[in-house]
Chains A and B, each alone.
Chain A
Amino acid sequence: MSAVLPTILTPILAPVAAATVIALGRRLPGPIALAGVVVALLASGMLLAAAFSGRVSPLVLPGLPEMPLRLEAGPLSAVLSALVAVIATFVLVFATGYMRADPQRNRFFATMLIFVAAMQALVLAADWITLLAAWEVIGATSYLLIGFWYRKPGVADAATRAFLYTRSADLGLYLGVFLLIGAAGSSEISATLAISGPAATLGGLLLLVAAMGKSAQLPMQDWLMRAMAGPTPVSALLHSATLVAAGAILLIRVSPMLPGQTLVVIGLVGGATTVVTGMIALAERDLKRLLAASTSSQYGLMLLAVGAGAPVVALLHLIAHAAIKSGLFLGAGVFQHQRGSTRLEDLAGVGRAHPRIFAGFALAALSLAGIPPLAGFFSKDAIIAATMSAPGAAWLLPLGLAGTVLTGAYMARAMTLLWRGPHAPAGGGNPDLVWMGSGMGALVALAAGLGAGFPAVEELLGAHVATSAVAMALGLGAALAGLALGWKVDGARLLGPLAGRAERGFAIGGGMDALVARPALALARACDRFETRLFGAVLAVGRATATIAQGTRVSDERGIDGAIFGLVRATIASGARARRLQSGLIHRELALTAIATGLIAAALFAAPLLL
């Protein structure tokens, strides 16, 4: 295959090819989509193997002059590519069952495949232009996926909100990237990582803004919870290894460039997010929204690790979280399939009716909380250890520990609510459940056992992750304390006076709306008023002439008024014409042009004195 097509293109092109086949053939979308992602998975596996053996060769395509497009499966990219491929495969296995009855499943699978292809392009990109392109395609397809059920009330609004939030934050990416390219004189990512000084500080902060938008960090966390309006496989994919991960991946990739003060800011943003969104998760009344808030919180922990100067640790947590969170979402999807709702009160006791699914959910939940020997334990332990030895340990360590306690508490709360409650017998054998269960089962197995693979990843990336007995004791203690609290005490009581605010998502969403959406709309309205006024002036002139003409007619009723009538008719007609064209006042417009020309002339005459 690599003779015809470079292996590195396969993870991107295979899903695109499958999407094309679905779009053209319009039948069997599930199996075709699976075939596409499995081919991508094989290619990603080959890339990973090549990275292990140290044979990495970049693929250079013609792009802009001096700025060719580059794809390269270096160690970090190969690991991420494999991660994306694995999660996408199992999520699509699940989706084959979940979407079986949906009349729009062709559209669903095709969009999912494009999304996966864009994510592969993002992780494999070795130059900023490719990365920007992939970033944009991810944004656009996530809009389509979140808004998939656009006929349902509120869904289109949620999709638009997600798009606007991430899109505004993307400005940071554009400015940051252009700054980095300008400073380094090359669009190659590895070349820009060598820069230092103010450009690195400012560029890092600008990229942080973009990452905050995509990874739903404070204060832009609100869109993620609303994005739950999409189908569950979408949530599982978006929240684990893809859309939300893009922000963290961006920071992990540029972390070698980031100077100390930028790292501190990143760490604080992550730490604040992990605590605040952890509390939101504790107060949520909807299972999917709880998981969404938890995603924000876990990405906060990753940013905390990046801020502590341990990007590899952040990567480990990203990998563990990807498997865990997609497993949890798929579990939530099964429950939703059974009860037709994701509200926790409707789901009470659903776990007892499906003990095997619940067991999987609980295993993933415990892994997220950080219970050994599950994967989450190793990554969370490494984060705690990293914050202990970081320069800002006094700030970062308490935030990390608080995040861990909260993780345990809200996962325990979810488990109690799903387990306790009226026992209703499960519906009979459902063929969809086979697909859904096997997709979820594979992910849960990964969530539990991935920890065993971490040393290999560390070795591949050439980094040694420090750990210590103290960190392990602290982390495990925090996790157990959280679990116990969440199991025993009601979430609302645990938060005390903060409960109400946490339930409303700390209402910071309103602040972002005021910052982004409202000014844009207000400006548009102001322009509208300006136009209307100009239009009014035109009409007024027309009316005035018509009135004068009318007056003339009255005063000279019996005169030779053919000419006057003609004038009136002409005036009214020209008024109507002016109205059609919105402006007939060419002399006024010429006057504006003349004034502006005068200003330009004045400025230019003054220029030699100034320059």
Chain B
Amino acid sequence: MSRDLSFLLPELVLMVTAALMLAGEMIRRPRLVLGIGLVGLALATGLAWPLLKADTTVFGGTYRIGPLAVWSKLILLPATALSLLLARAELAGKFREGSVYSLMVLVSIGALMLAGSGDVMLLVLGVVLTGLGSFALVAWPADDPATEAAMKFLVFGSVAGAVMVYGLTFWFAGAGSTLLSALTGIDRAPVLAAAGLVGLLVGLGYKAALVPFHFWAPDAYEGAPVSVAAFLSVVTKVAAIFALAQALSALPVQTGWQWAVAVIAAISMTYGYLAALVQSNLVRLLAWSSVAQSGYFLLGLVAVGGGALARESLIVFAAAYAAMNIGAFAIVLIGGRDMEAIGGLGRRAPARAAAMSVFLLSLTGIPPLFGFFGKALLFGAALDAGFLWLVVVAILNSVLALGVYLRIVVALYAPAEAAQPAPQAGAAVSTVWIVTLVITLVMGVLTRLLTG
């Protein structure tokens, strides 16, 4: 028991942190809440570091301590910390701002649970835990758009969650166990395997905002505060992708899951970018772009049963995606949600406009930025798995991506119509974009450090 708990130190620290944060919120001390959150996240990240070499399970195989689970801590906890800083910049002084911080930390615990799950019960728990906090986060502004978006998010989540639980019971019937590692022989019961797979794809596809389970995403991101949109688009999405990887790696390929994932990948990329192409609201545009990026993640997922490259590609792209997406949201937070609002930002705030261009080019996948290296690894993994057509679709979509993201870059450097002052940015949000910028610029060349 004590061995198991020693592997769970990061999670335990986070739970204590979340409890302390709630207590701090009760006495209405938002700065204290933020401080506790940042310290707790840093401590948990530090405690996760020594686990990198571990590859084991705890609690009878239900919770995995392997590369995916540990890296999810090292990527998602700093991402949560950056989201907290964004939230501070956006919501400082508002009523109950501390509740946003504590909710984010609570959701991050659910995200870690998803990314490390070795059992279908943990998958369900993770979906519920991330879901409950996310609904409240989206509804936080308590105005009409936020309420409606959260309502929609909740209805969608309830339906998807119900289908997921229902589907996963078939896996239990087929495998005789709720452990994901017991799925290796389930192809002897193809109907049960397929029913469970449908449930898994619906539940986690909804969480990762994959087409056709994505409908909630643009509205939820738009209704929520920008910092919450950044948080949801990175932390819960990456957690869901990692959870899919945990579940699918043991599933026999005879069930056809690779093809289902590949088709969803192709549709998500194409539909996401096409829809992003006509948006003028930057938050909606980034929402659609994150739908497309989820599709790219799936390139690594199709190969996940095969070798280490697939896992490495998922980890590297997750790190890259977290940095560049949070960075882009940070600049949107500074510059404004509309394409017009950021027009001419290149004159008024050249450094921030340049940073935004870097984030967008990295999202496109232009070398030598971090995003390119993530995508290159994903392409390699999909090629190894024999999905050449999917790689071709992904490369063609990179052209669409250029159209999507260059529109913003063009707006950034358009001449400003009136001499507006440079938008103000506090220390919190400046920290976020500078940190993510450095990661996006430098980590690409150092990718090898991530994969050991």
Hey, which bits of chain A sit against chain B, CB under 8 A?
61-65, 68-69, 129, 132-133, 136-137, 140, 167-168, 171, 174-175, 178, 182, 520, 523-524, 527-528, 531, 577, 580-584, 586, 589-590, 592-593, 596-597, 600-601, 603-605, 607-608, 610-611
Contact = CB atoms under 8 A, between A and B. Distances in A.
A587 B391 CA distance: 34
Nearest to A164: B402
A167 B253 CA distance: 38
Given A523-B274, A604-B198, A581 B212 contact: no
Instruction: Indicate the member of A168, A582, A589 with the most B CB atoms within 10 Å.
Output: A589
Contacts of B144: 577, 580
27 contacts: A64-B447, A65-B377, A65-B451, A69-B445, A178-B391, A178-B395, A577-B148, A580-B144, A583-B219, A584-B152, A586-B156, A586-B215, A590-B159, A593-B160, A593-B212, A597-B163, A597-B198, A597-B212, A603-B256, A604-B197, A604-B256, A605-B190, A605-B191, A607-B190, A607-B194, A608-B194, A610-B256
Contacts, number: 145
A65 B212 contact: no
Given A62-B449, A605-B194, A136 B366 contact: yes
Contacts of A527: 274-275, 277-278
B445 A603 contact: no
Interface in B93-132: none
Contact of A608 (B211, B254, B399, B447): B254
B189 to A, nearest CB: 10
B448 A63 contact: yes
B446 interface: yes
Nearest to B451: A65
B296 interface: no
Given A590-B159, A608-B187, 12 more contacts: A61-B445, A63-B447, A63-B448, A64-B447, A65-B451, A129-B367, A171-B399, A182-B383, A581-B222, A586-B155, A590-B155, A603-B260
A577 B202 CA distance: 28
A180 to B, nearest CB: 12
B337 to A, nearest CB: 13
A601 B213 contact: no
Contacts of B149: 581
B198 A133 contact: no
B255 interface: yes
A171 B395 contact: yes
A583 B372 CA distance: 34
Interface residues of B, number: 66
Contact of B148 (A178, A584, A611): A584
Contact of B376 (A129, A593, A596): A129
Interface string B347-369: 00000000000000000001110
A611 B194 CA distance: 13
A69 B309 CA distance: 18
Closest 5 CB pairs of A and B: A607-B256, A596-B212, A133-B367, A608-B190, A589-B215
Contact of A604 (B260, B391, B400): B260
Given A62-B446, A132-B367, A600-B198, A581 B278 contact: no
B118 to A, nearest CB: 23
Contacts of A69: 445
A581 B223 contact: yes
A62 B366 contact: no
Contacts of A611: 253-254, 256
B403 interface: yes
Main secondary structure of the interface of A (DSSP, over half): helix
Nearest to B366: A136
Interface in B214-251: 215, 218-219, 222-223
A602 to B, nearest CB: 9
A137 B361 CA distance: 12
B259 interface: yes
A215 B160 CA distance: 53
Contact of B255 (A168, A520, A607): A607
Interface of B: 144-145, 148-149, 152, 155-156, 159-160, 163, 187, 190-191, 194-195, 197-198, 201-202, 211-213, 215, 218-219, 222-223, 253-257, 259-260, 263-264, 274-275, 277-278, 309, 312, 366-368, 372-373, 376-377, 379, 383, 391-392, 395-396, 398-400, 402-403, 445-449, 451
B448 A62 contact: yes
Contacts of A528: 278
Given A178-B383, A524-B403, A527-B274, A64 B198 contact: no
Contact of A65 (B191, B194, B402, B447): B447
A524 B211 CA distance: 19
Contacts of B447: 62-65
Contact of A581 (B198, B219, B275, B312): B219
Contacts of A597: 163, 198, 201-202, 212
Contacts of B215: 583, 586, 589-590, 592-593
Contacts of B190: 605, 607-608
A178 B379 contact: yes
A182 B198 CA distance: 33
Contacts of B148: 577, 581, 584
B420 to A, nearest CB: 20
For A61, A175, A582, A601, the residue with the greatest tally of chain B CB atoms inside 10 Å of its CB is: A601
Contacts of A62: 445-449
A600 B256 contact: no
A357 B451 CA distance: 59
Contacts of B377: 64-65
Contact of A603 (B259, B372, B383, B399): B259
A248 to B, nearest CB: 22
B197 A592 contact: no
Contacts of A584: 148, 152
Nearest to A121: B368
Contacts of A531: 275, 278
B446 A600 contact: no
Of listed A62, A65, A175, A584, residue having the most chain B CB within 10 A: A65
A520 B255 CA distance: 37
Nearest to A596: B212
Contact of B402 (A64, A167, A175, A523): A167
A528 B278 CA distance: 6
Nearest to A61: B445
Contact of A601 (B198, B219, B264, B379): B198
Contacts of B163: 597
A63 B395 CA distance: 21
Contact of B260 (A171, A583, A593, A600): A600
A528 B275 CA distance: 8
Contact of A175 (B212, B260, B392): B392
A601 B194 contact: yes
B260 to A, nearest CB: 6
Contacts of B398: 174
A136 B398 CA distance: 14
Nearest to A174: B395
